[in-house]
Structures are given as structure tokens and as C-alpha cells.
Amino acid sequence: MNLAPLAEVTRGGQIESLHAGAVAVVDSGGKLLYYAGDADFPTFTRSTLKPFQALPFMRGGGVAHFGFGSREIALMCASHSGEPMHVDTVRAMLSCAGCDEHHLRCGCHVPIRYAAADQRPPAGEIFNQLHNNCSGKHAGFLAYCVQHGLPLDTYIDPGHPLQQAIRHDVARIAGLPESGLVSGIDGCSAPNYAMPLSRLALCYARLARGANDREYGCALGPLFDAMTGQPELVSGSGRADLAFMQAAPRDWVVKGGAEGVLAVGVRSAGLGIALKVADGNARALYPAAIAVLRQLALIDAVTPAPLEPWSQPTLRNLRGLVTGDVRATVRLVKA
């Protein structure tokens, strides 16, 4: 496996740990323009898949059927923090479909908002599946099933018509045969797919083209507009995806996924960018992504203010003493 350096973690000015991985930069036709490491690294897409998991819903007229707006579309694409704005919107989406929290099959976890703020959850606070960062995606899944008269209780089974429709659309967007998608089960129990990293980049180049995509424009247009128009609903306070989308409003669509995946679509430049940290650690991801954006001349010498905390993050210990930092080491190569 050909891995390229992405970032190093220092302590006392010396390297303590190293992160390697791969980067692919493509145009909206999927042509590889720049790369680092193996541009076709087989990459489980994890939460970067969410906008494309919403394609059957979008194409099936779900937005009009349920009277959803861009807030609800943003939530379907979200790895949200479980803040009230997220939880309330998901609850309302479920209600529109005649469902509630008990129909969800995503499982529970402590909302991301606490980790994002480096806080412990308040004493005695009870969480449910609405707080799961994927609950908006699952609410969209359930709404699709209600609209099309499909079984609700098996909506995440790989053989369910919804999941088959998603698999079909994901393969089309990625320009792959369905047999080219490797299947796994995601943290939220939904099917997830792996594809070559350059194909994930292509998916985001097409998402950034939005309404101008010849095949899926009528779905990708509203998805891009919703994600970039309400990035706080797709992510959450203090999180990197939000900061990246605030750095280039309505131009960069940015989505992270578990195990060190990040995908960026750049409307103005007609580019799709995907990064995979081979070891899965997200701490390398954002410094490396900023370095990549700079090498592509999408960021100039001055780092945009929202990205400043993510560029070369200072590491502090329990008493707040600086112990080191995370530094990008990635170098893009022209294809």
C-alpha cells in the first residue's frame, strides 16, 4: 500500500507520532489532477456518504411530499452534534413521516457536542437515538419508506429496497459498477460502502457541481445548497466541518467521516478532494486538508480565520501546558 506522509505530532519540538495516508484531487469528470500516496486507496466512505445516501429520497420527491426545506435536507447529510437545533429538527422530520424515536435503528451515543466542547455531559442527562449524529440520515430513510410504502422495521437491511436504491445511486455517482462497491456495516448500523479514494473525490466534485450535474443535478443542487447554506446543521458548534464551510461560504462543501476520511467539493474550482488517514485518526485530517487546499491555491498565505485553530493545532496536557502540536507534512504531486 503506497502511503504518503500527511502530518506529524510533536512533543517538546520532536516528532512523537506520524500519520500517513492518501489524497486524491479530481475534476468533475473524475480526472485525477493531484494526489499523494495511493489515489485509489480503498476507502470506506463512512459519513462522507451521507449526501448520496439521501439521493433516493431526493429523487423520489420526498422533499415536496413531506414539505421539507433546506434545514431537513441538511440534517439528512449531517453528522450532527446533538444540539437542540439538530435534535428538534430530526424529531420534527420523524413526526412528518408519522414516526418517532422508537422507529430509529441507529443506536445511542453521547452527543458529539460534549466532546466538541471538551465537556462532560451534565449529570443525569439521558440521551436517546435522536442524539445520534446520524439520526437525520435515518429520519430521511424512514420518511422514504413511509412515502413509498416500504417496511419500516428492516429499513437498514442491505436487501431492503431503500438500501438497494442507495447502492444503485452511490455506484452511479461514483462512476462504478455496483460490484465495485465494497460493503460493510457503519457505526449507525446502516450499510456503508468502500470505493477508491479518487471516486469519493469524484462524488464531491459532482456534489459541488450541484444542479449542473447532468445525471443527478435535481438532487445534488438542493443537497449542495442545504449543506453549504446551513453548515451548522450538518456539523455543530466548534467542529472542523463547520469551520471549513464557514471559511468559503457556499463554495466548499465539506464532510468528515469516521476512521480519518474527509471529502471536499469546491464549486468555484470544479474540484473534488478526498483524504484518508490510513490509521483512521482524525487529528491528522484537518491540518493535512488545509495544507492540501493551500497547495491547490484555494487558500492563500493567510489562513482564513475559521480554519486557524485547525491548521497547526496546539496540544495541551491536563493542566493546560503546551506539550506539542500537529503539523501537516503532506505534499501533493501533479498527476
Interface residue list for a copy of itself (CB under 8 A): 1, 3, 9, 11-20, 42, 44, 105-110, 120-121, 123-124, 132, 182-189, 192, 194, 259-260, 278-281, 284, 317-319, 321-324
Task: Please give the torsion angle defined by the CA atoms of residues 107, 110, 115 and 116, in that order, rounded to the nearest 10 degrees.
Answer: 70
Shortest CB 184 distance to a copy of itself, Å: 3
The radius of gyration of the chain's CA atoms, rounded to the nearest angstrom, is 19
- Residue number, 137 or 267, with CB nearest to a copy of itself: 137
φ/ψ of 40, rounded to 5, equals -110, 25
Shortest CB 247 distance to a copy of itself, Å: 27
Euclidean distance between CA atoms 73 and 226, whole angstroms: 6
Shortest CB 17 distance to a copy of itself, Å: 4
Euclidean distance between CA atoms 286 and 257, whole angstroms: 12
Q: C-alpha angle with apex 329: 324 to 272, nearest 5 degrees?
A: 125
String of DSSP letters for 145-206? HHHHT--STTTTSTTSHHHHHHHHHHHHHHT--GGGPEEEE-TTSSEEEEEEHHHHHHHHHH
Euclidean distance between CA atoms 166 and 53, whole angstroms: 5
Helix (H) or strand (E) holding 137: helix 135-148
- Residue number, 108 or 211, with CB nearest to a copy of itself: 108
- Residue number, 123 or 297, with CB nearest to a copy of itself: 123
Helix 135-148, helix 84-96: angle, nearest 10: 10
DSSP, collapsed to helix, strand or coil, labels residue 231 as: helix
